[in-house]
Structure 1
Amino acid sequence: MILLSAVVLAGIPMLDTESQAGADASAFEDIDRVQKANYVTEHYDTSQEDSNRTLATVYVRQEDGDVLSKTSLLETLRYQRDVLNNDSVAAVLHDDGIADVANMVAVGLADDPAASLDEQIATLEDASPAAVETQIESTLSNQPQALRLLPDGHDPSNTTATDRRLLVVLNASGAAGGSEGVFDRVDAALYETAQDYSDSGLFVLNQFAYAEYNSHFFGEMVWLVLPAALVLILGVLAFTYRDLIDIVVGMVGVLLSVLWMFGLLGWLGVAAGLVSIVPVVLVTGLSIDFGFHVFNRYREQREASRQRAGDARGDGGIREPMNRGVRLVATALVLVTVTAAIGFLSNLVNPLGQIRDLGVSITLGVIASLLLFVTVVPALKISIDGLFERFGWDRHKRALGHGRFLRPALSRTVTLARRGAPIVLVVALVIGSLGAVAWTDLDEESFQQPDGEVAEWKQSLPDPIGWDTHPVAERLNHVQAVYQPATADDAFRERILIEGDVTADGTLTDLQAGVETISERGVLLDQPGVRAVTSPVTAMQALAQRDPAFRAVFEDESRDTDGDGIPDRDLKPVYDAFYEADSELAGQVLERTDGEYRSMLVRVALDADFADIDQAVADLEAGADRMEGDSDRTATAVGSVAVNVAVLDAIVGGILQTMTIALAAIALVMAVAFRAMHGSATLGLIVAVPIALVLGLVIGGMYLLSIPLTLLTALLMSLVIGLGIDYNIHIGDRFADERREGKTTVEALEAAVTGTGGALLGSTLTSAGAFATIALVPDPQLQSFSLIVVVALLTAFLVSLLVLPSLLVLWERYSPEAVTTEATAESLPQD
């Protein structure tokens, strides 16, 4: 195993920690919105949507100051001068340059639109504060574009503000034919220069700011979580093992399991990615669980061996109990590994490559744990115990669950099953059903955005444990809250595809009514000088203003029966004239194939104030419904926001299908395995049933804890299956073996619950405690992840001790099948 470990661990240098597999486009082709979005790409000229400009934004914020003061305006002009001295910035700067209120004010004071940046700075330096304030008022009142650089809703008469922004306009194709990474160098220049002016409130939110934030966040997370997790894990291990040597040996197995997982990922070419912390934590918890069962069974077997032989020490008192314990516990561990792998590998049907990789990673880690904890760990254990006992140190320890305090507590669950099994089952079904019903009421979010807030007590902890806040997350939320997109290119741009008879009377009137419906719902971008809607109507209106020949056709009163300025009958000649006058513009909003008009396209820029994506899509759909009118036309929202909502719905629906298939597969495996091992397929089904209950309880816990359905939490739903099956198998398998030895139902349950239940308790305390420490991290994604796993572990433990014994009692009472009771002298209870 040492040699094999060396080979496996050689794969770690080959590990891909950067690759992030995206979604398989083909997996979503059956979604209507995806199909129609592809249709738009195939049939419309979208090249004009790709502007030859790209914007980099620099923000100025002074919570207790005035960013429109003379001093602040001068600072941003000097910032511009320093940035423009950078060769990379100068090489890709667009002719539009930098848009800043400071430039507008300085040019106004100089009364020279062509004033250079140095001249602007000199003019502003010489101007009196009163003159500057007067010029600011004039600029805000007469230049609407200046208001785009200020927070949403800023009053033009107000010459003070706490926030504003600068727009650095770059050539989108500036790097073409030039050196690679030019825009990275631009971002670096903007970021580093803003750092020099941070005292004046300047900052940027680009890749370098996020990279620094992520590095800071990871460091703080390690120092906050790792000490707490280690203290908790070691405390539980000390309580469970009550032996330092066993703790060290067990942790060696845990560490090797994680390293094996990464080595196997490297050899197989499976990406670990940025979310590798998830399989690490899960594999750590599962391998600790394996260790508890191996060590607990060894202690039970050694105690039985001593009682039979009266041998207190010696090699014969170590090897044989370990041999028996491992040989017998291995059947349960193999079954746990197989069923857990089914739950984890069910994610192979997930369209997101990252989630598929997670399922593979965890499965490899569990398999590695199985191999190591039935080979390396037992070998280390018997070698160390044999060495110490040769020097006179008795290594005999009592198994957890057999103590005078824990044994009575665990035994009460058997009493509950014996006296009230039907009641327990009814209560469990009611609670589980209520939890499952809560699935439809869970909120759906693509991603949980951190708000940057950190509890004061976390910041008050002594260094290095104390959490030092970083401004990026709070700044991002502030920017999103106070600003509207400066241009339509910066906003979420959605599309509505109208198909069918688009030449029918009333088509354009219905289209405009749909746009007005969307506008009335407040989701359209409302910025001075920014066009929020591009449609056949707006395109024709714009063309009519500059083309007299087309204007005559478009404004023909015979085609406008209601006098609203929009043709509502005899539309085909209007479309023909539109294409004849400007085919390029017409091709962006109107599809003509083989001389027939088959569809229309409406583009809208969304307001930044919408907080609920689902509601924004619902507002777009309301407008689309109005565009359909009473005809056979169809109108569908097919922009990125609408498609993402449809994809998330598909993934959530896929999770339900995945869980159903996984549950069915596990039930089948359990039935076959228990039939082969214990002569009863129905017993295997009974042991598998509580997994569904655990799922229902976890869903109910998500509802009560207000945990939304995201791509990550939806993934965890399938992982719950892999986590929840573990405990039930150990209890069910131990019960069957005790019955095979001829014990009564109650005696078998007593042995299973007190013997195996002790190991399960240690495993639950360790794993749930470790995951609970992750909830200390001020990040909603990680908090949701940790809480779901904690709820899953706790409910799985409680169900295995409270519900499963009652199911087993009822199974014994009413099932026509029975456990094979052909015991041999050598047979011993399995774990």
Structure 2
Amino acid sequence: MSFFHKLIHLRWPVIGLAFIVIGATVIGLPRLTKDTTADAFIDPDSPALVYKAKVEEAFGITDPIVIALINRDANGVFDPISLKIIRKLTDEVGALPYVDPDLVVSLATENNIVGTNDGLIVEGFLEANTQGFRSPVGTMARGEEIRNAIADFPLYSGSLVAENGSASLIVAEILDEDRAQETYDAVMALVEATALPNGVELHVAGEGAVAGYLSTYIDADASRLNPLAATIITLILILAFRSMRAAIVSNLIVLATVLGSFGLMGLSGTSFFVITNGLLVNLIGIAVADSIHVLSAFYAVRRTAPYMPQRDAVAEAMRRMWRPITLTSGTTIAGFLALSVSSVMPPVSAFGLFGAIGVFLAWIYSMTLLPALLSVWPSQRVPAIFRSSRKADTFQRIMQGVGRRILSAPCVVVGTTLFVFVVSVIGASQLVVDEDRINNFQRSEPVYVADKAINAEMDGIYALDVLVEGAEAEALYQPELLRRIEALQSYMETLPGVNGTSSVVDYVKQLHRAVNEGDPAFYTIPDDPDLIAQLFFLYGASADPTDFEEEVDYDYQRALVRASVDNGRHTNNKVIVPALEAYLQDKFDSDAAYGTATGRVSVNYYWIDGIERSNLASVLLSLAAVTLVAMLIFRSAVVGSLAALPVFFAVLLVYAIMGFMGIPLGVGTSMFAAIAIGLSVDFAVHTMDRLREIGRMFGLTVDTLQAFYPETGRALFFNFIAVAGGFGVLATSSVPPLVKFGSLVAVAVTVAFLISITLLPTLAVWLKPRALQACPITETSYATDPHSA
């Protein structure tokens, strides 16, 4: 008795055990946690991330949520109503549970610094009882005084208030980045509840807002798209087999695969990243492809042997299909594992690992649960299109026609392929790497509009930081070190996209001018370290000494220099970050003090740079792994190489399309290659396996290879329609990267399908590889007429 006869004999224990395993993995789903931060894409041990954490610990600065009030009227943000809104929102945001109330920065929290004969006056811009401000809060006169004070305090111009007075920021640091979504939702609720006069706008942006909104945004999109993809694939299954049985059992295999993979993800403690959404559609495509081939074989058996008992028919179908399904699963797993080990980004590595696990589960369930379910289905009705008395259906006739045209014009097929190859190489050479997190959103989305509006009015909300560390405590009292920081700020402001900088030096110069009766000539760094220490002491005596906690540490040994950048594009980051690091190495690497680039811009540069450095290596390694496995399973270098051709062309052509259309290689688009490799190899392996069966039984001729198209070609066609249709659904997504991702994968699958049914049979006839003809397969039971199978 064959393995599958034994398995079907034990069908109920098999089904029971399968559902126990599914249940055991499902318990991991509630443990899945989302991580939508950009930091997730970089190695936790990366110096950029380590120093970012160091800055957060020393200065309390994280990725903030930024609220901007924009008023383009003549009085700008200095009119009484705008200032009242700023104070109200500052108080409300500071009271939120996951916001640090001591690190909310706005006109309502910051102080003006002016000098008097008796010392310093340090008082809030919106305080009610003040010495420096003469007019009452809530009057136009007070607004004008604040305008003049801001103009006289360079630190705030462009960073807190727009240079033209049209906008002002409220910056809130989130205490727990895992609560970014809740914090963003709470901030948005406050903003939406604020009554605004005509001409006044409120916008919410910043990395904290992006991380918070991205989670909700993608979840809402996925909740619509994933059921739609499943519905479309189900309809395709019904169209292919005219059978609810086929649709139901296929969906059970898909469900078991997806639940198992994501359940194991939760049990392992692996986070659900932004790109993990793509894994779901990928596993659906792979699992349904296995089912399509098994069901095609099952109904083919029922056609040729209509009176065969159902259980025997299932066993025969599995005996025919276990080999190609196992081969495709092996090559797909190899591709995913290669991606996992070669990627430098943790989410991509996790994608590759759990993609491989999902493919393995799909194979296990297709080899066990699927035949068991087919064997216990109460109805033995054969769909009309598969009955022996019926002529070939429409799709079989289409594929037969395709086969005749392809095999009768080999020169056209090869010539067209070579032309496409040359054009693709030209297009792929134009591919560039770029990424901007804000482009994850449609241009109409509030967070996108806010980002563009704020960066247009202000210096910029993307932070490029330098952590300056002195050799000893109170190193920042030394004029030489402060002047080096001043020179660093001047250099940073020459970098593209950098519109302003801030550091403790700005406070020192403002204090120095204030104690010299506001004389602009004294907006300098004092030469005497004792005077610098005295300035800090005077400030502490007049105000809260912790006001500097975002610029210096308690011991005055470490300082944070922050540059405001007006865009988050990698093409800009990869210019300014290396340039800054080179400057620091040259000017800030000594025993007295050293500086390290960090901040959001630096971290983003390194994780996108990881794509630029590793993408090609990952793709080549995945292609090599797939090719090697194909060579091993077919025991032929020639046949293995032929099986890799559709995969190679699928990836190359999509890179060409991206190059010609100006679509950059980013996080979302870089993932298509791994998925394309995993999905495309299925078409190639099924094709080569069937060609080998035909070749060994009847030889490789134009006539004999016609037998490839009616059954295997039809199954591949519906495999292609199901996968391409599933990914094509993503083209309707409201998330731009998913639109590109789904469209590119659909194109890749299309290319792989076309190359598999055109170029591979043509080359098989031309080359007649020995491995496709020698040693007849004794295990197959195909009829002696190749066309009857």
Find the partner of 1:332 among 324, 347, 350. Answer: 324
1:7 is matched with: 20
Shift of 1:327: 0.7
Write out per-residue CA displacement over residues 729-759 of structure 1, whole angstroms, 9 at most, x where no aligned residue: 1111101101111244223422223321211
Correspondences of 1:272-283 after superposition (within 5 Å): 272-273=272-273, 275-283=275-283
Shift of 1:689: 3.4
Find the partner of 2:627 among 664, 667, 683. Answer: 667
1:592 is matched with: none
**TM-score with structure 1 setting the length:** 0.70
Q: Say if 1:721 and 1:530 are closer, same or farther in 2 by CA, change over 3 A.
A: same
Q: Say if 1:542 and 1:320 are closer, same or farther in 2 by CA, change over 3 A.
A: same
What is the rounded CA distance, in whole Å, between the counterparts of 1:245 and 1:548 in structure 2? 86
Find the partner of 1:423 among 411, 415, 419. Answer: 415
Shift of 1:298: 1.9
Q: Say if 1:704 and 1:48 are closer, same or farther in 2 by CA, change over 3 A.
A: same
2:691/2:761 contact within 8 Å kept: no
Correspondences of 1:447-462 after superposition (within 5 Å): 447=437, 449-454=439-444
2:107 pairs with 1:99: yes
Residue 667 of structure 1 aligns with an amino acid whose one-letter code is: T
1:196 is matched with: 193
Residue 776 of structure 2 aligns with an amino acid whose one-letter code is: E
Q: Say if 1:64 and 1:253 are closer, same or farther in 2 by CA, change over 3 A.
A: farther
What is the rounded CA distance, in whole Å, between the counterparts of 1:773 and 1:623 in structure 2? 43
Correspondences of 1:372-411 after superposition (within 5 Å): 372-384=365-377, 386-388=379-381, 403-411=396-404
For residue 613 of structure 2, give the secondary structure of its aligned residue in structure 1. Answer: helix
For residue 248 of structure 1, give the secondary structure of its aligned residue in structure 2. Answer: helix
Write out per-residue CA displacement over residues 548-571 of structure 1, whole angstroms, 9 at most, x where no aligned residue: 999xxxxxxxxxxxxxxxxxxxxx
For residue 605 of structure 1, give the secondary structure of its aligned residue in structure 2. Answer: strand
2:59 is matched with: 50
2:759 is matched with: 803
Shift of 1:286: 1.1
Residue 412 of structure 1 aligns with an amino acid whose one-letter code is: R
Residue 795 of structure 1 aligns with an amino acid whose one-letter code is: V
Find the partner of 2:614 among 646, 654, 662. Answer: 654
2:485/2:505 contact within 8 Å kept: no
2:245 is matched with: 245
Q: Say if 1:645 and 1:482 are closer, same or farther in 2 by CA, change over 3 A.
A: same
Shift of 1:294: 1.2
What is the rounded CA distance, in whole Å, between the counterparts of 1:152 and 1:336 in structure 2? 59
2:566 is matched with: 609
Q: Say if 1:396 and 1:364 are closer, same or farther in 2 by CA, change over 3 A.
A: farther
2:706 is matched with: 750
Residue 332 of structure 1 aligns with an amino acid whose one-letter code is: P
Residue 754 of structure 1 aligns with an amino acid whose one-letter code is: P
Shift of 1:48: 11
Write out per-residue CA displacement over residues 459-514 of structure 1, whole angstroms, 9 at most, x where no aligned residue: xxxxxxxxxxx63342234223322258xxx832147999xxxxxxxx99999998
2:479 pairs with 1:479: no
What is the rounded CA distance, in whole Å, between the counterparts of 2:778 and 2:170 in structure 1? 84
1:149/1:166 contact within 8 Å kept: no
Residue 479 of structure 1 aligns with an amino acid whose one-letter code is: I
For residue 221 of structure 1, give the secondary structure of its aligned residue in structure 2. Answer: helix
For residue 766 of structure 1, give the secondary structure of its aligned residue in structure 2. Answer: helix
What is the rounded CA distance, in whole Å, between the counterparts of 2:760 and 2:441 in structure 1? 42
Correspondences of 1:181-220 after superposition (within 5 Å): 192-199=189-196, 201-202=201-202, 204-205=204-205, 213-214=213-214, 217-218=217-218, 220=220
Shift of 1:673: 1.7
For residue 440 of structure 2, give the secondary structure of its aligned residue in structure 1. Answer: coil
Write out per-residue CA displacement over residues 714-742 of structure 1, whole angstroms, 9 at most, x where no aligned residue: 34323322222110111111011011112
2:169 pairs with 1:154: no
2:6 is matched with: none
Find the partner of 1:692 among 644, 648, 660. Answer: 648
2:634/2:771 contact within 8 Å kept: no
For residue 773 of structure 2, give the secondary structure of its aligned residue in structure 1. Answer: coil
2:407 is matched with: 414
Residue 526 of structure 1 aligns with an amino acid whose one-letter code is: G
Correspondences of 1:393-792 after superposition (within 5 Å): 403-417=396-410, 419-420=411-412, 422-424=414-416, 426-438=418-430, 441-445=431-435, 447=437, 449-454=439-444, 471-484=446-459, 491-494=463-466, 518-526=492-500, 542=525, 544-547=527-530, 605-610=562-567, 612-619=569-576, 621=578, 638-640=597-599, 641-642=601-602, 644-646=604-606, 648-675=608-635, 680-792=636-748
Q: Say if 1:197 and 1:696 are closer, same or farther in 2 by CA, change over 3 A.
A: same
2:169 is matched with: 165
2:427/2:655 contact within 8 Å kept: yes
Shift of 1:361: 1.8
1:71 is matched with: 81
What is the rounded CA distance, in whole Å, between the counterparts of 1:691 and 1:167 in structure 2? 49
For residue 542 of structure 1, give the secondary structure of its aligned residue in structure 2. Answer: coil
Structure 1 residues without counterparts, runs of 5 or longer: 156-160, 306-312, 455-469, 499-506, 551-582, 590-602
Q: Say if 1:300 and 1:402 are closer, same or farther in 2 by CA, change over 3 A.
A: farther
2:317 pairs with 1:303: no
1:553 is matched with: none
What is the rounded CA distance, in whole Å, between the counterparts of 2:450 and 2:582 in structure 1? 38
Residue 562 of structure 2 aligns with an amino acid whose one-letter code is: A
Q: Say if 1:320 and 1:607 are closer, same or farther in 2 by CA, change over 3 A.
A: same
Shift of 1:341: 0.1
Write out per-residue CA displacement over residues 361-387 of structure 1, whole angstroms, 9 at most, x where no aligned residue: 222222222222233333333443645
Q: Say if 1:735 and 1:826 are closer, same or farther in 2 by CA, change over 3 A.
A: closer
What is the rounded CA distance, in whole Å, between the counterparts of 1:692 and 1:799 in structure 2? 10
Residue 426 of structure 2 aligns with an amino acid whose one-letter code is: L
What is the rounded CA distance, in whole Å, between the counterparts of 1:323 and 1:722 in structure 2? 27
Residue 99 of structure 1 aligns with an amino acid whose one-letter code is: L
What is the rounded CA distance, in whole Å, between the counterparts of 2:468 and 2:103 in structure 1? 33
C-alpha root-mean-square deviation of aligned residues, in Å?
5.3
**TM-score with structure 2 setting the length:** 0.73
Residue 445 of structure 1 aligns with an amino acid whose one-letter code is: E
Residue 493 of structure 1 aligns with an amino acid whose one-letter code is: D
Q: Say if 1:756 and 1:450 are closer, same or farther in 2 by CA, change over 3 A.
A: same
For residue 254 of structure 1, give the secondary structure of its aligned residue in structure 2. Answer: helix
Write out per-residue CA displacement over residues 652-687 of structure 1, whole angstroms, 9 at most, x where no aligned residue: 333323333333333232222213xxxx55323322
1:60/1:202 contact within 8 Å kept: yes
2:502/2:563 contact within 8 Å kept: no
2:439/2:736 contact within 8 Å kept: yes
Of 765-774 and 406-415, deviating more is 406-415
For residue 492 of structure 1, give the secondary structure of its aligned residue in structure 2. Answer: strand
Shift of 1:211: 8.1
Write out per-residue CA displacement over residues 511-545 of structure 1, whole angstroms, 9 at most, x where no aligned residue: 999876654445544369985899xxx9xx83525
Q: Say if 1:606 and 1:436 are closer, same or farther in 2 by CA, change over 3 A.
A: same
What is the rounded CA distance, in whole Å, between the counterparts of 1:607 and 1:51 in structure 2? 18
1:253/1:373 contact within 8 Å kept: yes
2:396/2:711 contact within 8 Å kept: no
Correspondences of 1:817-828 after superposition (within 5 Å): 819-820=773-774, 822=776, 827-828=781-782
Q: Give % identity.
A: 20
What is the rounded CA distance, in whole Å, between the counterparts of 2:731 and 2:233 in structure 1? 16
Q: Say if 1:138 and 1:50 are closer, same or farther in 2 by CA, change over 3 A.
A: closer
1:322/1:382 contact within 8 Å kept: yes
How many residues get paired?
Answer: 708
Write out per-residue CA displacement over residues 178-211 of structure 1, whole angstroms, 9 at most, x where no aligned residue: xx99999998876654443154555655899668
For residue 168 of structure 2, give the secondary structure of its aligned residue in structure 1. Answer: strand
1:451/1:477 contact within 8 Å kept: no
What is the rounded CA distance, in whole Å, between the counterparts of 1:185 and 1:384 in structure 2? 48
Q: Say if 1:358 and 1:78 are closer, same or farther in 2 by CA, change over 3 A.
A: closer
Q: Which has the larger radius of gyration?
A: 1
Write out per-residue CA displacement over residues 761-812 of structure 1, whole angstroms, 9 at most, x where no aligned residue: 1121221122122122232221232122112211111111222223222321
1:443/1:709 contact within 8 Å kept: yes
